[in-house]
Structure 1
Amino acid sequence: MSKILIRGAKVLGGEPQDVLIDGETIAEVGTGLSAEGAEVVEAGGKVLLPGLVDLHTHLREPGREDSETVLTGTRAAASGGYTAVFAMANTFPVADTAGVVEQVYRLGREHGYCDVQPIGAVTVGLEGRKLAELGAMHESAAGVTVFSDDGKCVDDAVIMRRALEYVKAFGGVVAQHAQEPRLTEGAQMNEGVVSAELGLGGWPAVAEESIIARDVLLAEHVGSRVHICHLSTAGSVEIVRWAKSRGIDVTAEVTPHHLLLTDELVRSYNPVYKVNPPLRTERDVMALREALADGTIDIVATDHAPHPHEDKDCEWAAAAMGMVGLETALSVVQETMVATGLLDWAGVADRMSVKPAQIGQAAGHGRPVSAGEPANLTLVDTEYRGQVDPAGFASRSRNTPYEGRELPGRVTHTWLRGKATLVDGKLT
């Protein structure tokens, strides 16, 4: 493989340095580097980060290829600076067997735009009644370590306890979609002032918080790992903070849209803002930002949820829940966390690469930008600012809440093990 010399990049936002890639590996980091025959990328002060890792992506294949495929989803990931994504299990058929997770894993390897690590279902068919083949999925070629019924909550405490006990044996983690189903029947948006004014069914914060409280106590009792998906309320932050203070092995994620958008947007009745968990209040948004900054929330995860046009271009009540996020996540984090002074670029790398790779055990990802490490990298033009145009997305779906919104930052290059997947903003 050829050599690539990235010249004048701000590694983690620091002083400009040169980075030499030789084959699949970073060979050298320093100033004034040269390499005969190397392809030179003039970074011009752009920020160089370890390739981003998304612990929460919906690739839809198998079964809903009309909204996304492994190919289109990984192309979207590369466009957003990601070198690894974890694919959620709510496919058709559900990824609850070794055969299905191996299929998704192979598709990711074949397409090559980023590494794809399947997430296995906790229960058969996501029905919450019987544990899925957790051990078989872990021992398969896919080597599954993260299990989730995302889209549905594992609301049965006995099933959740058994899952935590099972994955403890091989160091796995259960990622919980925290939603008490009885408290959210018919829910259409966040329960509060806006839902009352609009006459839409409310999704109360306590429906999330009660499940998180239960599950951190179960994790403490079992001595196992639990991860909280798309945490969205100020109360949830306090519960996770309390659990961590007790030494409970809990991690949590926040989505970019919950860091920026509020339930006030639902006044438009535009279904692009319909998501689960719902957009919350300004108070919740501020609490989430502070918690991400202080480490109570460990990571940013996109919850990239593509839907075809007909599933969103309809009346609010009938619309599907979810938003695409892979191609805008880094820009939203720059807007909400870097521009506000809550995180520097090293902090962004920690929350969007290092820690998600650690939680999901993504080998070779989330590593330091230093000699001898795998060349999984993303280069970001942090000075760029422009309007979001979904017509240019690599994703098969266009259900973004940011259309027409001006956001900062643009990923210009992505390298997966030294191979360019994105060059000058264009997929290879």
Structure 2
Amino acid sequence: MRYLYTLAMYLVTPLIVLRLLARGVRYRDYHRRWRERFGFYQGPLPLVRGSLWVHAVSVGEVNAAEPLIKALREAYPNAPLVVTTVTPTGSERVRQLFGDSVFHVYLPYDLPFAVSRFMKRVRPQLAIIVETEIWPNLYFACKRRGIPLMIVNARLSERSLRGYRPLQGMVRSALGCVRQIAAQSRTDAARYRLLGVDPARIVVSGNLKFDMPVPYDAVPAGEELRKQWGHLRPVWIAGSTHEGEELPVLEAHLQVLKRLPDALLLIAPRHPERFKMVESSVRSLGFSAATRSADRVPSAAHQVFVIDAMGELMQFYAAADLAFVGGSLVPIGGHNVLEPAALSKPVLVGPHTFNFEEITLTLIREGGGVRLAGVEDLGNDVLRLLRDKPQREAMGARARFVFDSERGAVQRVMSLIDKQLQE
């Protein structure tokens, strides 16, 4: 099965190159660094033997890995740290968080020659995959070279489990190369067991995202923003939205404006290539709009503010009265509800939250969040909360309680890493 998989990877390589070219039209970083996808890159040649390698596919995984990478840097100051991502936005987030203190390169495609070239250059003493990325050739390459491989903050949705079933034999063999799986929850651990992973190699460590640091300047920055548009003005935010979500969000805001004419909507599209498109949609619907790139902050005359910048979401969560977390009105699976929860904000989500299943359920069960029954409920729920400050404050306090009570995963994962390195 793996040979057939590898043959298929070679056959689709021309399509992969075309995809890189096409995506590079919108995002130039795809053009500049496409060679890294095949194991060629500029940098230390070779890196000092014994690097610690952390792979985080995109922005969400990089954010989840932030406290772990900082803990690794502190515990092993002499070990070079290599961080790989798949997306340019993930790469940019690595640069924002860590600068030159880690070496970033794109993860190569799962082609044997590309994986081999990458391994020869990086030569890790430990490989750490954040969340779930199962690449058979990469995993077998680690096993052949005797590199301990861990999956940390491991999650496996029911949807992903069903997707792996036709390839279960190959997936089981690939996961047999993994020394340790640190699962986010008991449910995730059970799903890995269903894939055939030895239960002795699975532990439940909790979710690293609960240990994410709340930026020290997020709350003061949020307060400063509120001063500029008015403390009493009702403000809500739609964070990390996807195609198919902005229109319902804007329709909900129209509903809010009928009762609260001075209300302000902050909207943050998930992907930079959609910033201009969302801004155009806002203006075409007749809203008075401003953007982060052009106007910095909205004025009293603006009804919608498009956050067309990366890495600034937390201060806007801090400045809002409540937060809707995107990726949940459409079947993307939802994004990180812990970011607004960490700032004591009530959280609204749609029906599709399988990427953060247990966290979201806990938040809702404890009273810090609300799940919308349907798209049409967004405006009603936003309006209800904007008009009820005591309820908002109570929900925000419960959301922060959930965030605080689940912390400690980084320490548990570091213990597992220490054990692997000692062995």
User: Of Structure 1 and Structure 2, which has the larger fraction of its residues in strand?
Assistant: 1
Which one scores higher on RCO, CA 8 angstroms, separation ≥ 6?
Answer: 1
The normalised TM-score by structure 1 is 0.30
Return the structure number with greater helix share.
Answer: 2
Max radius of gyration: which structure? 2
Normalising by structure 2, what TM-score? 0.31
